[in-house]
Chains A and B, each alone.
Chain A
């Protein structure tokens, strides 16, 4: 039994000490100092274990971890292009199915396929390929690490860039005040495909995130799963490299990034927040919001309030509370 496997299937944890010590995503990669993607990927492969194939879209993770001749992935890993992680992962998964059926691969071996993509490669250019994979019910867990811009190419806006965020293609000046459109709700778009499991996750909440990875892998016998992970980016969000986890935590504590799951259609907030921190606590640590006026911060607070209200409606009760005075 490989690391990450339990007799019942993928790993579930109650404490950090339930995580195996073995690293399948090792040192020596080129991710920025303080890049929370490193934390996320480490945990993802720990949970998935050795019998995993990673299909990675072009982006920060792909480029930083596989600069020829070096690679830090101790599991099979494949990248072909930017917009096709969904289709490629589907191809790998279907190939395994038929090879097992025809006896070219052992039938009893559970080899799981995980597609990994950034927000650019998932909500924009990769949306079609993802949608096709979901609609076809290809047995793939898709993990979106969302740093809210095309970071690999130097911080350009994507469909996932939040309102008023500075990026190099939505700078803040006299006419523009950063991005003027709101973030594409990719998790809900995915949920509309009615797949067995969709969740949002946050590396600042290890048990929640790891258990969601595990659940996402568990349902692959029935269909695809999708985990939307917030990935705080020191270089693009402009904060001290030490603050990646702290800022990620604030995203959930302020209601900007609520943690929920939709398991076979049942909506549940997995980390209720009784009293929300005001969104300024989250914004003030990030250089990409440094240009905001108090009125603009209030605009953002209102947007968060609306979003929280929506979440509470879906939950059927107030699971994310009001802003603490």
Chain B
């Protein structure tokens, strides 16, 4: 991995100010986890609780329609952003229909 050149004092904004907040997206916390959530789209009732609970906004609410095998049609779906999910398991714990399983991360 290439080492990033660190900036000189001239190149940094004064006083340690971060002028481009939101750059935390470069700090991918997804490699923290040993367990990862897997959402069963068939069971998920789109209640928004997992999305609400996640401290890392790692459950994304997408305008992705989905119809279950039993014919329930949803306008949205929830997907895990594994780049940032830390594997805490709060989503699985709070899901009222147990649609989320925490499974071990595969070590490649």
Contacts and interface: CB of A to CB of B under 8 A. Distances in A.
Interface string A297-308: 000000000000
A37 interface: yes
Contacts of B47: 16
Contacts of B57: 23, 25-27, 42
A169 interface: no
Contacts of B94: 245-246
Q: How large is the interface on B (under 10, 10 to 19, 20 to 34, 35 or more residues)?
A: 35 or more
Interface stretch (A28-36, A117-125, A159-167, A274-282): A28-36
A71 interface: yes
B24 interface: yes
Closest 7 CB pairs of A and B: A38-B55, A28-B24, A242-B89, A34-B88, A33-B86, A72-B24, A27-B84
A25 B55 CA distance: 9
B58 interface: yes
Interface of A: 16-17, 19, 21, 23, 25-39, 42-43, 65-66, 68-74, 77, 203, 206, 234, 240-246
B16 A68 contact: yes
Given A68-B16, A206-B52, A234 B21 contact: no
B82 to A, nearest CB: 11
B40 interface: no
A70 B24 contact: yes
B52 A19 contact: yes
Contact of B88 (A25, A77, A244): A244
23 contacts: A16-B51, A19-B48, A27-B29, A27-B56, A27-B81, A28-B23, A29-B27, A31-B56, A33-B86, A34-B90, A35-B88, A37-B55, A38-B54, A38-B56, A39-B53, A43-B52, A68-B16, A68-B18, A69-B23, A77-B21, A241-B90, A242-B102, A246-B93
Most chain A CB atoms below 10 A, which of B21, B33, B102: B21
Secondary structure call for the A interface = loop
A245 B53 CA distance: 8
B26 interface: yes
Contacts of B81: 27
B49 interface: yes
A66 B82 CA distance: 22
Nearest to B81: A27
Given A16-B47, A42-B55, A242-B92, A28 B18 contact: no
Nearest to B46: A17
